[in-house]
Amino acid sequence: MKKAKTGGLGRGLGALGLGRTELAGAVGGAPSPKVPPPTAPPAPASAATEGIPAEIPIEHIRANRFQPRREFDEAALEELRESIVRHGILQPLSVRVIGTGKYELIAGERRLRAAKLAGLTTVPVVFRTATDAELAEMALIENIQREDLNPIEEAHAYQRLLTEFQLSQEELARRVARSRSAIANSVRLLRLAEGVQAFIANGVLTMGQVRPLLALESKELQCEAAEYIQEHEMSARGAEALVKRLAKDPNALRQARQPAKSERKTDIFMREAEERLTRSLGTQVRIQESREEGKGRLEISYFSADDLERLMGLLTGMDSTARDDRRAALRAISTQNFTV
């Protein structure tokens, strides 16, 4: 007679999370103490099959060290958090295995941050195999496709791929589906002063407004010109004209801000009038009082034919149709006589 096997049932239920104590309670013994539901164990390296979804603890995921984004919109993250609370994470994050129970994020930084804000302990992921270069490349491509990067973040990401992984501009352009000239123009932005870069990153100035500043070697002069362009809401063509003037006379802006020695001290009310006109017209305005009481000269600066056309419209109340009729004549005006 064969000896009956013992413990087989226990082992079978043990696989379901029930040991001998729990089994005794289940078949009529003393009630077993409640055991808290186990947290999801880290997926073993053998289970990290590429392309197969899995659920892993959020605390075991390390952020992508090649993430090009430096700023995340808090309002947008809050909206994503609310969506995750209601509907869960619909698209799994992409990760790679970097050790036993340790993972590095490839794509899905916003989802990971929002999941943490939502209080999730685990997140769905898909495992990928990637080298450091591929990791940086995939993070950059994801953000470019979503148009999540500002121009400076994009430029830094390109520069990092070029230098750390020794890629040529042609090779990088092929990998991220950009033209070589687009890569070159983007990286050139890093030659601008940090203050000017901040204007671009924050959306204060456009690429067209700041690109002419690359012709100025002095970082200090770049910042002064950028501030002037922003204060006077100059167009890209106006910025080009300003840079041409500064290339001939780097002190032009400083001289424009200093009153001439022959000028008398400006009355406080005249100064207020200058400031109001400057704000209204979006360009520098100076009032020079004459020796005759109640008389003087009003000087309004412009930097391109387009800028002059804009001022004409503001001062004369000319509508767009009338301005179009004057466009050809205004474009014939020489930019060499601009006043700064």
- Summarize pLDDT for 254-285 with one digit per residue, the tens: 776 655 444 444 556 677 788 888 877 878 88
For the beta carbon of residue 29, count every other beta carbon within 10 angstroms. Answer: 11
* Domain boundaries, position 170: 150-191
d(CA 231, CA 297): 23
Q: Do 184 and 122 share a structural domain? A: no
Question: Would residue 286 count as lying in a domain?
Answer: yes
pLDDT of residue 222: 93
The answer to whether residue 220 is domain-embedded is no
In a domain, 4, yes or no: no
Q: Measured between alpha carbons, how far is 136 from 279 in angstroms, rounded to an integer?
A: 45
Predicted pLDDT of residue 319 = 57
3-class DSSP state of 237: helix
Give the pLDDT mean for 206-231: 92
What letter would DSSP give residue 334?
-
Q: Give the burial class of 195: count Cβ atoms within 10 A of its Cβ; 0-12 exposed, 13-18 middle, 19 or more buried.
A: middle
**Is residue 333 predicted with pLDDT exceeding 70?**
no
Together in a domain, 117 and 157: no
Q: Give the closest residue to 176 by CA, choosing from 94, 202, 168, 72.
A: 168
pTM over 0.85: no
Which range is least confidently modeled, 82-86, 123-127, 234-238, 250-254? 250-254
Catalytic residues: 109
With cut-offs at 50, 70 and 90, classify the pLDDT of residue 317.
confident
Q: What average pLDDT score do residues 19-45 get?
A: 40
Q: Answer yes or no: is pLDDT of 238 > 80.
A: yes
CA atoms of 225 and 212, how far apart (whole Å): 10
Establish if 301 belongs to a structural domain: yes
Q: Tell me the per-residue pLDDT of 8-17, one tens digit each, with 9 for 90 and over.
A: 333 332 333 3
Residues in the chain: 340
Q: What are the C-alpha distances in Å from 254 to residues 11, 42, 125, 257? A: 86, 63, 57, 5
| Ramachandran region, residue 148 (left: φ > 0; alpha: ψ -120 to 50; beta: rest) | alpha
Measure the CA–CA gap between 260 and 287, rounded to whole angstroms: 12
Q: Which residues contact 46 (CB under 8 A, 6 or more apart)?
A: none
Residue 233 falls within a domain, yes or no?
no
Q: Which residue has the tokens 């704000």?
A: 279
pLDDT at residue 330 is higher than 80: no
Q: Are residues 126 and 154 in the same domain?
A: no
Q: How many domains does the chain have?
A: 3
Residue 208 lies in a domain: no
Q: In 3D, which of 196, 235, 69, 194 has the Cα closest to residue 141? A: 69
Single-letter amino acid, residue 162: L
In a domain, 160, yes or no: yes
Domain co-membership, 76 together with 117: yes
Ranges of H-type helices in 61-131: 74-87, 109-117
| CATH code of 67's domain | 3.90.1530.30
Please give the average per-residue pLDDT across 18-43, as a whole number: 40
Q: Does residue 171 share a domain with residue 110?
A: no
Instruction: Tell me the average pLDDT of the chain.
Output: 75
Token pair 């400031």 in the structure block, residue = 275
| 127 and 161 together in one domain | no
Question: In whole angstroms, what is the distance from residue 88 CA to residue 83 CA?
Answer: 7
Pairing of β 122-127 and β 61-62: unpaired
Q: Residue 213: what pLDDT? A: 95
Is the pLDDT reported for residue 335 higher than 50? no
Same domain, 116 and 186: no
Kindly state whether residues 280 and 333 are assigned to the same domain: yes
Residue 81 falls within a domain, yes or no?
A: yes
